[in-house]
């Protein structure tokens, strides 16, 4: 039977589907950097409205309590703003810079809490996100030939910089319409698509592949995965390929960790790993060397930026950081200190306090989603998304890409809400739905039975399809 097409049923779902569907148009006009934060704050206001209206709603229609990990995200990202103010005060950076940095927080770190909060509160169906990403994948596959032939037929690298840049941003790359770039020292083309730089496109690709894998329609699933893989390959991001190689099998195994067959399969594998341990370590070391030497200049700059960030953090501002980003010396091509690494960047700008504010919700979310990964496809999707955040925190600045990675944060919120319901013995579906399988829901059937006589059918084990 053909998989039914999910349609938006409320304002939140219409906004999400609309923004994802308009991704390429927004990229063309330079509006992506503004659309992501606007969506995050609108969804957060809608979620707060649910709690404001809750006392007047019937008990079954009231929102669930906010899951503990979501509370930690909200507290952690609010702490980022307070730490920012303290850092600015310590270095007397002035009111103007403090206001500018606070606006930057609202467009970056705040989104890491607002989107999970919205996902945990609003009635958003994950199936709608999966299908919207697959539809975006179809648009990407249609446009892909234009990008691939552009450097060979004389089209310019940068088409234009949107005038929307006057509304703010860290640099013109967030508002630029770029067809391709030429890799320095190599002279070959490299593509970043609608991301501000190529490795960021690789991160988006990993998110899209793993979410598209959850789509129930085989045709749409194939389109979404193919588009995501194309983004990963043509962005030439080394970390994207590593992430796909690591995260998908890890989540697959986590979803089956309670099965005896999993441990029976793991036993001989672990035995072989122990027996060939020294050789495997040597092989892994060679892979790391090859990984770094693939772009030696990039690896050298990244390493130098990290050393500078750590040295200045330890010696100048260990607790609350320097308050703002500073450009490095000529050695690192004047790139911002701590860039290309969330933890180095946090230590330099916000000190140890900022690193803790991110680490606590990140680790707690990972542990809970890993523990519950065996229960449903949504839990495994949430685990995959939090693993992407963890892995890429060592290669990107998470807050700078939050305006693009928000679907991952939404799914994390949805998964944490479902996990809380599973822990409380409640249905993982919304009040207007009934559970029919492993992470699948359908509209509740109208019954003439009274509440006191209605009997709920047992939840089936369901299939574990759509693993990332």
Residue 454 domain flag: no
- The neighbour count for residue 137, using CB atoms within 10 Å, is 26
Q: Distance between CA 64 and CA 245 in Å, rounded? A: 36
Q: What is the pLDDT of residue 226?
A: 97
Q: Specify burial of residue 267 (Cβ count, 10 A radius: 0-12, 13-18, 19+).
A: exposed
Mean pLDDT of successive 10-residue stretches along the chain, which has 468 residues: 73 96 95 95 94 76 86 96 94 90 93 96 94 97 96 92 82 90 84 94 96 95 96 91 90 79 62 59 54 58 79 86 78 71 87 95 96 92 96 90 96 93 58 38 39 39 38
Q: Specify burial of residue 41 (Cβ count, 10 A radius: 0-12, 13-18, 19+).
A: middle
Residue 303 domain flag: no
Domain count, the chain: 1
Q: What is the pLDDT of residue 431?
A: 39
Q: Distance between CA 346 and CA 306 in Å, rounded? A: 11
Q: What is the pLDDT of residue 459?
A: 37
Q: What is the pLDDT of residue 290?
A: 52
Q: What is the pLDDT of residue 171?
A: 79
Q: Distance between CA 210 and CA 205 in Å, rounded? A: 9
Task: Calculate the alpha carbon distances from 318 to 344, 348, 351, 362, 399 in Å.
Answer: 12, 8, 5, 21, 21
Q: Distance between CA 387 and CA 415 in Å, rounded? A: 13
Residue 427 domain flag: yes
Closest CA to 393 of 197, 111, 203: 203
Residue 2 domain flag: no
Residue 150 domain flag: yes
Residue 376 domain flag: yes
Residue 136 domain flag: yes
Structural domain boundaries enclosing 140? 11-259+309-443
Residue 340 domain flag: yes
pTM of the model: 0.84
Q: Distance between CA 224 and CA 135 in Å, rounded? A: 7
Q: What is the pLDDT of residue 274?
A: 64
Q: What is the pLDDT of residue 5?
A: 72
């Amino acid at each position: 039977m053909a998989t039914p097409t999910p349609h938006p049923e409320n304002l939140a779902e219409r906004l999400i589907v609309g923004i994802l569907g308009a991704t390429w148009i927004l990229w063309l006009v330079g509006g992506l950097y503004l659309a992501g934060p606007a969506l995050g704050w609108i969804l957060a206001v809608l979620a707060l409205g649910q709690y404001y209206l809750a006392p007047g709603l019937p008990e079954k229609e009231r929102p669930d309590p906010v899951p503990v990990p979501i509370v930690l995200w909200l507290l952690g990202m609010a702490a980022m703003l307070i730490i920012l103010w303290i850092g600015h005060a310590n270095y007397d950076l002035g009111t103007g810079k403090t206001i500018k940095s606070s606006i930057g927080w609202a467009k970056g770190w705040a989104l890491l809490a607002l989107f999970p909060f919205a996902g945990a509160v609003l009635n958003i169906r994950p199936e709608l996100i999966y299908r919207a990403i697959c539809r975006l994948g179809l648009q990407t596959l249609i446009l892909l030939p234009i990008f691939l032939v552009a450097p060979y037929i004389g089209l310019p690298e940068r088409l234009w910089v949107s005038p929307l840049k006057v509304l703010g941003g860290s640099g013109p790359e967030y508002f630029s319409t770029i067809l391709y770039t030429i890799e320095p020292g190599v002279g070959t083309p490299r593509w970043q698509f609608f991301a501000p730089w190529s490795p960021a496109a690789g991160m988006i690709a990993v998110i899209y592949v793993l979410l598209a894998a959850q789509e129930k329609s085989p045709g749409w699933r194939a389109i979404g995965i193919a588009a995501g893989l194309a983004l990963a390959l043509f962005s030439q991001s080394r970390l994207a390929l590593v992430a796909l190689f690591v995260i998908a099998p890890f989540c697959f195994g986590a979803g089956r960790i309670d099965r005896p067959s999993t441990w029976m399969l793991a036993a001989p594998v672990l035995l072989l790993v122990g027996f060939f341990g020294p050789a495997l370590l040597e092989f892994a070391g060679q892979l790391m060397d090859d990984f770094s030497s693939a772009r030696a200049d990039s690896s050298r700059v990244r390493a130098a930026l990290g050393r500078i960030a750590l040295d200045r953090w330890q010696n100048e501002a260990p607790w609350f950081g320097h308050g703002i980003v500073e450009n490095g010396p000529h050695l690192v091509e004047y790139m911002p200190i701590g860039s290309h690494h969330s933890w180095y960047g946090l230590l330099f700008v916000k000190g140890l306090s900022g690193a803790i504010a991110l680490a606590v919700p990140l680790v707690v979310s990972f542990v809970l989603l890993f523990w519950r990964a065996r229960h449903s496809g949504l839990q495994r999707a949430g685990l995959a998304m939090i693993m992407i955040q963890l892995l890429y925190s060592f290669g990107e600045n998470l807050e700078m890409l939050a305006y693009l990675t928000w679907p991952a944060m939404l799914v994390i919120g949805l998964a944490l809400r479902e996990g809380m319901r599973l822990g409380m013995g409640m249905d993982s579906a919304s009040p207007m739905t009934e559970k029919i399988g492993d992470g699948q829901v359908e509209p509740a059937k109208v019954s003439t039975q009274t509440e006191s006589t209605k009997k709920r059918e047992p939840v089936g084990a369901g299939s574990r399809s759509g693993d990332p």
